[in-house]
């Protein structure tokens, strides 16, 4: 879905940059810089910021609750 009609940027492109870039984004303007464009009318800023916050929330949640490939064995089940 196109998020920024001025620069024709999709939500996928924004998520790709936020996910793959080797940096932490503090503002939507930094994302625009990475995509080689700049804010024109600003109508998309809220959507870009929401995507950025979603990604930051996912990263924070992963740090708090790391996903394990397999559940850890239950200590109660090993008592036999
Ligand atoms: S819609 Fe993104 S700058 Fe205008």
| pLDDT of 6 above 90 | yes
| Contact yes or no for 28/67 (Cβ under 8 A) | no
Nearest protein Cα to ligand 1, atom 3: 40
- Give strand pairing partners of 2: 10
User: Does residue 18 or residue 73 have the better pLDDT?
Assistant: 18
Helix (H) or strand (E) holding 3: strand 2-4
Give 64: exposed, middle or buried? Use CB within 10 Å, 0-12, 13-18, 19+: exposed
Taking residues 2-7, what's their average pLDDT? 95
Taking residues 55-79, what's their average pLDDT? 63
In ligand 1, the atom with minimum distance to the C-alpha of 45 is 2
How many angstroms does the Cα of residue 6 sit away from the middle of ligand 1? Answer: 4
User: Does residue 30 or residue 59 have the better pLDDT?
Assistant: 30
**CA separation for the pair 58, 68 (Å, rounded):** 15
How many angstroms does the Cα of residue 2 sit away from the middle of ligand 1? Answer: 10
How many angstroms does the Cα of residue 57 sit away from the middle of ligand 1? Answer: 24
């Amino acid at each position: 879905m196109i998020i920024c009609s001025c620069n024709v940027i999709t939500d996928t492109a924004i998520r790709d940059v936020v996910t793959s870039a080797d940096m932490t984004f503090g503002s939507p303007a930094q994302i625009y810089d990475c995509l080689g464009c700049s804010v024109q009318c600003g109508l998309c800023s809220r959507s870009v910021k929401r995507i950025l916050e979603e990604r930051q929330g996912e990263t924070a949640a992963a740090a708090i609750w790391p996903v394990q490939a397999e559940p850890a064995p239950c200590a109660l089940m090993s008592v036999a």
